[in-house]
Amino acid sequence: MKNIKIFDTTLRDGEQSPGASLNIAEKIQIALALEKMGVDIIEAGFAIASQDDFKAINKIAGKIKKSTVCSLARAKKEDIEAAYQAIKPARKKRIHTFLATSDVHLKYKLKMTKTQALRQIEKMVKLAKDKVDDVEFSPEDGFRTEPKFLFKAVEVAILAGATTVNIPDTVGYATPREFGELIADICKNVPNIKNVVISAHCHNDLGMATANSLAAVKNGAGQIECTVNGLGERAGNAALEEVVMALKTRKDYFKSVTNIKTKEIATVSKLVSNLTSISVQPNKAIVGANAFAHEAGIHQHGVLSKKETYEIMEAEDIGLKSNELVLGKHSGKHGLAYRLKNLGITLDKKQMKEVFERFKELADRKKKIYDEDLLALISDQLKTEEQKYSLELLQVVCGNKTKPMAMVGLKDSKGKNEEISVIANGPIDAVYRAIDRITKNKAELLEFSIKAITSGKDAQAEVFTKIRKNKRIYSGYGASNDIILASAKSYLNALNNSL
Ligand SMILES: [Zn+2]
């Protein structure tokens, strides 16, 4: 069995999904959850891109013990220096540097000749190697690069010290057979390839990211770059849960294993969905709500008689349990801390205090608190960090004999309070208009969806919103057992993200 390294780029490529924006506290929780799940390399960001990116990578590097922490860097001196400074506190560090090698990128983006590109690769990989032992090089748009030049670029990077060479299908153009053959050709035509790990980085524009990544493994790749829930620019990246479960379920065919503890997959998927405010489609492979629904559906008879009739995986494999009661009104701080630890959540003292208060409030209103409730509560709480406006007051009147009216009070980061009442067409309309007026905001609400987190009439609701402001898209998330309150928080979160 070959061990395939899982390189997670949820915090870098995944965060480039339209609307996804994570604050530092949220990125830290995701990194800790990825580490607990057994991810080999965490690409924590792109250090030079912004001060926030740098800070997040640096904080994550200080907290992660087992996984390698990686920063992306263009093949430029200042990028590599920033990447190195950001990952410095990590026990295991990697610099991932890239330079485009396809004709179209060289000519129009970089305005470089091939000879210049090779020289730049050599110089910058060497520079990264002076700083860390573990260096990854990516020829960006590798799949559309002229093969002979790709082999040369890879050879030069390895000679300069790269220990992993990553072949990206940056625009999601490849098909599985072609991508597999390209990896096989690299193995054949690059003389020093034996000494390094070949990696695949596939995008999902044509829905083939997972298939292409697996074809790469079949042809000699030892690392897959992927994201939780398949997040990423445009149609996203290869989904971590899909490549991992495919390798596990079809071990007979791929003859490969990963270090991923698959029982963590469901929790990490939900956490990432909440924190990025991007919900998972119900029919999504592995982590969609319907992926294991046949357990209660029309195939039940077959499944009950003999599991293998319709089941190739078990819900337990990814950590789905039948709604098991976890906590209630009388649970104390220790009980809560224990459950959170099981979920891979680590909070500091101040965060724990706030979360415990909110847990008590929730337990007063809701009898049974499930893991899903805790994940929603934590996500909602983390979103209040570093926000410009916080919700201080919400009061709503509505019904069939009255005009919907909302009274909203917001506090800004300078401590200034403002309250306003608005009459509108519906209660949420009234709340959102009130928020707009206080924040002097002009955003268009593109999407609004509300979901019960668990079953039961007293269930908490989670609300996902998407807004457009100054031609950019921002997402928001809010959870509460009051649906209007959850709606208000979600919209305010999206708005705060835009500020
Ligand atoms: Zn990418």
| pLDDT tens per residue across span 29-70 | 999 999 999 999 999 999 999 999 999 999 999 999 999 999
d(CA 391, CA 192): 59
Distance between Cα 12 and ligand 1 center (Å): 9
In a domain, 102, yes or no: yes
Distance between Cα 167 and ligand 1 center (Å): 10
Distance between Cα 225 and ligand 1 center (Å): 9
Average pLDDT estimate for 384-395: 92
In a domain, 309, yes or no: yes
Distance between Cα 201 and ligand 1 center (Å): 7
DSSP-based three-state secondary structure for 85: helix
Distance between Cα 204 and ligand 1 center (Å): 10
What's the mean pLDDT when you consider all of the chain? 93
Query: ∠ CA(492), CA(498), CA(231), 5° rounding?
Result: 95
Domain identity same for 440 and 362: no
* Host domain of residue 316: 292-322
Distance between Cα 177 and ligand 1 center (Å): 20
Per-residue pLDDT at 239 exceeds 90:
yes
Average pLDDT estimate for 141-166: 97
Give the domain-ending residue among 242, 276, 310: 276
What CATH number is attached to the domain comprising 456?
3.30.160.270
Domain identity same for 362 and 393: no
Average pLDDT estimate for 328-348: 87
Distance between Cα 169 and ligand 1 center (Å): 8
Distance between Cα 65 and ligand 1 center (Å): 26
Q: How far is CA 187 from CA 3, 147, 198, 222, 492, in A?
A: 18, 12, 9, 12, 52
What CATH number is attached to the domain comprising 65?
3.20.20.70
pLDDT for the residue 308: 72
Average pLDDT estimate for 187-200: 96
Beta strands 5-8; 2-3: pairing state: unpaired
* Confidence label for 76 from pLDDT (cuts 50, 70 and 90): very high
In a domain, 287, yes or no: no
C-beta separation of 226 from 188 below 8 A:
no
Domain identity same for 186 and 138: yes
* Confidence label for 296 from pLDDT (cuts 50, 70 and 90): very low
In a domain, 406, yes or no: yes
Give the domain-ending residue among 345, 360, 383: 383
Distance between Cα 391 and ligand 1 center (Å): 37
In a domain, 297, yes or no: yes
Distance between Cα 41 and ligand 1 center (Å): 15
Distance between Cα 226 and ligand 1 center (Å): 9
Distance between Cα 217 and ligand 1 center (Å): 18
Share of the chain above pLDDT 90, in %: 81
Distance between Cα 171 and ligand 1 center (Å): 8
* Confidence label for 297 from pLDDT (cuts 50, 70 and 90): very low
Domain identity same for 123 and 249: yes
Distance between Cα 29 and ligand 1 center (Å): 22
Average pLDDT estimate for 261-278: 96
Distance between Cα 236 and ligand 1 center (Å): 8
Task: Provide the whole-model pTM.
Answer: 0.91
In a domain, 9, yes or no: yes
Domain identity same for 134 and 222: yes
Distance between Cα 286 and ligand 1 center (Å): 22
Domain identity same for 219 and 306: no
Query: Residues 231, 232, 235, 240: what is their CA dihedral angle, to the nearest 10 degrees?
Result: -50
DSSP-based three-state secondary structure for 121: helix
Domain identity same for 211 and 354: no
Give the domain-ending residue among 345, 364, 383: 383
DSSP-based three-state secondary structure for 167: strand
In a domain, 420, yes or no: yes
Residue 283 has a CB neighbour count (10 Å cut-off) of: 10
C-beta separation of 389 from 381 below 8 A:
no
Domain identity same for 228 and 103: yes
**How far does the chain reach from its first CA to its final CA, in angstroms?**
50
Distance between Cα 168 and ligand 1 center (Å): 7
Closest-CA residue to 96 (of 49, 128, 52): 128
Distance between Cα 220 and ligand 1 center (Å): 20
d(CA 124, CA 110): 15
d(CA 356, CA 43): 31
- Total domains in the chain come to 4
Distance between Cα 6 and ligand 1 center (Å): 15
Distance between Cα 139 and ligand 1 center (Å): 12
Average pLDDT estimate for 422-432: 97
Distance between Cα 107 and ligand 1 center (Å): 20
Distance between Cα 294 and ligand 1 center (Å): 34
Per-residue pLDDT at 301 exceeds 70:
no
pLDDT for the residue 303: 59
Ramachandran sector of residue 85 (left: φ over 0; alpha: ψ -120 to 50; beta: rest): alpha
Reading the block at residue 63, the tokens are 């907290």
In a domain, 327, yes or no: no
Distance between Cα 422 and ligand 1 center (Å): 45
Domain identity same for 374 and 436: no
Domain identity same for 340 and 195: no
Length of the chain equals 499
Distance between Cα 350 and ligand 1 center (Å): 36
Domain identity same for 400 and 475: yes
d(CA 448, CA 306): 41
Distance between Cα 112 and ligand 1 center (Å): 22
Domain identity same for 29 and 140: yes
Distance between Cα 45 and ligand 1 center (Å): 12
* Sign of the four-CA dihedral 264, 266, 270, 276: positive
Q: What is the DSSP string of 246-266?
A: HHHHTHHHH-EE-S--GGGHH
